[in-house]
A and B are shown apart, each in its own frame.
Chain A
Amino acid sequence: MSDERYEAIIIGAGMSGSWVAKELCDKGIKTLMLDRGPDVKHLRDYPTASKYPWEYEYRGAMSNEHTKANPIASRCYAYKDGATHFFAEDSEHPYVQAKPFDWIKGYQVGGKSLLWARQTQRWSQYDFSTPDTNGFGISWPISYKDIAPWYSHVEKFVGISGEKDGLDVLPDGEFQPPKEITVIDKHLRRVVKENYSDRHVIYARCAHLTDPQEIHREQGRGQCQNRTVCERGCPFGGYFSANSSTIPWAQRTGNLTLKGDSVVHSVLYDETTGKANGVKVIDANTKVETMYYADVIFLNAGSINSTAILLNSKSKRYPSGLGNDNGLLGKNFGFHNYRARLSATCPGFEDKVVDGRSPTNVYMPRYVNLNKDQEDFKGAYGVAIYTARYRKQDVKSVGSDLVNDLMKPKNFKPWTIISMIMGETLPKESNSISLDSTQVDQYGIPLIKFDVGYDDNDEKMMEHFFQEWEEIYAKAGFTNIERIDTGQAPGLDIHEMGGARMGLDPKTSILNADNQVHSVDNLYVTDGACMTSTSYQNPSLTYMALAARAADHYFRRRKL
């Protein structure tokens, strides 16, 4: 037992939790931040950050033993030799799948901010309004103008590389200079501009420093070096992670207490005051239980774990989970549909190549279903576009000829392109997460059960993407066009959202417009669990902006 008391407790030291910590600590609030995983200190705990490709035992491959022990994590694009230590082991963290769901977990201080794809596109007013106007969800309780200043606030601190595109479907932000794009990106951009007035190929905005400012130097961060081994942790702080940025910033204020290896069992509820008053924590190593108390609690354990903690926080007043008066906690769980890809060869441009590596790509924002449904599906999709020209290895020969062929430096394959749908999935009660009634984890906490799947709307959206992009490819002169449906399970997009959604009406939502639980106003949920709908953009920028906004809401309310 402990009677440690803080003004604020933050559950989860990842992308959004670290933003709450920074904001509260900057304002002088004594804060405890808990994370279920071990501490990962910037620089000190990046053991593979500067390891060269030739130093890896399997030269980039994964051992059979590792892949077998981690069948889910190993499906993730970032699960590479050199980064596996930032993924939770599948065998140690089981969950129940009523339908297949690939849950990619980063259990350490910093969470998945070490592993993210660093794409940072703002939401637009269309994204906030179409669930309501196009009739596929409840209204968001906030609009773009409510969050726009917080996007700017976060972007300036994080450092976003981007171009001012002037698009209302993807508002501009506070940008540092963009990196280069490829000659095929430029060609595609030109073709799209010549043929379509509503479509735009833009530089995909990303959280990489291309022109560090004083605020970044104060964080100890420097320019992105195009190493593209970000998932190992960046010793330059070239991309934003909680570990390189917000956490050390908050620690320097002297107001943050950070405790790793602290698995939160539940949020404590005081029946007499009707408030949350603390958390019950299990030490990840010793399994000893401890209580911590605070005036305000922020849940930032990630969409899935935050929802699960609420479901597991049972009391006389809330027998089915804290704040769950309407029975919707865990329901309307969303993700992004990343199944559809279109690949092709790009003839021409034989005299051009790329030199080096880029951490980003180009992108097409949404252009259909803006004010009303124009197609036979609902929701939006954007497209991530990757173009490349790889070296060719002539390996047909043997002996001296093989040596000579391999040592030729001038061999390149034709240019290639692959475009990937980033599709909105529609909120629905049947996509849900819940607590299993019989099975528990190593801490005695009920296992999380997933009942999440694709639907007919997702299939129609994919078909639309295929048809539209086959046309675009044809106009661009691309050949060998091939449709790919990866068939991947939900979850591998790593954009889990919802479960404790925001809304105007307590009958249909769990959180209000300021991310407070409707009936427990000193409990904020400011990670992906709060999302009312998913739209199509990579969501971390929005989580960070919502987290900073909610922390500010608490601070202003506290002063009253």
Chain B
Amino acid sequence: MSGLPFYRRERNQHPPAYSPGYKSSVLRAPFRPLVSPEQTELDTSGPTFGHDMLGPLDNDLIRNASQGGEALGERIIVHGRVLDENARPIPNALIEVWQANAGGRYAHTNDGYLAPLDPNFSGCGRTISDAEGYYRFRTIRPGPYPWPNNGSDWRPAHIHMSIFGEAFSQRLITQLYFEGDPLIPLCPIVNTIPDPDVVQRLVARLDFKNQMPFDSLAYRFDIVLRGRRQTYFENREEGA
């Protein structure tokens, strides 16, 4: 779908490229000013994904890599809505997720952390939002893990989320954190976002009443993607 252009991305709502507290950013941050062209049809449309692409267990990380058992760990449902900045629901948003297992170990060739792999857990899943923008998946709460940055830093428990809205301009990859995790304010990657109030928008809230009784806790996490301008006039005004 093509259509009206999007509001400019508010860069102060995102981490700056150069964030020396996160050492990997130092050599990977461009320094020249970004170029802001007008949006074309390529920017205001994007690849689309349908519910028929999903396998029956794609949204169940507890079972989708089973070797006969279920993944170990604290069982959770993550759910919420995908909305745009105008508070309109975004249907058919593809959400891909990846995460460490309950011990903080990734099933990845480059992860050498001493915590063991879980043979029944790959840490990969995906889901697509429904007509009201609602999505959900089931997983285990990932463990925190150490990584070399300032000596041994620790990542708070987190789930990586990649989101496609209806247009390429809405493309976003982020990380979900968990309410009450004391490692959040200590994390150099979290702290690439200068404003702690902005960080709060990455913190999923315990949603006790939506638990699956005697099975899984629930966490609520709403996602907001860029919204379209309401008129072309508004675009010209700012695009001058």
Task: Answer whether A and B are interacting partners.
Answer: no
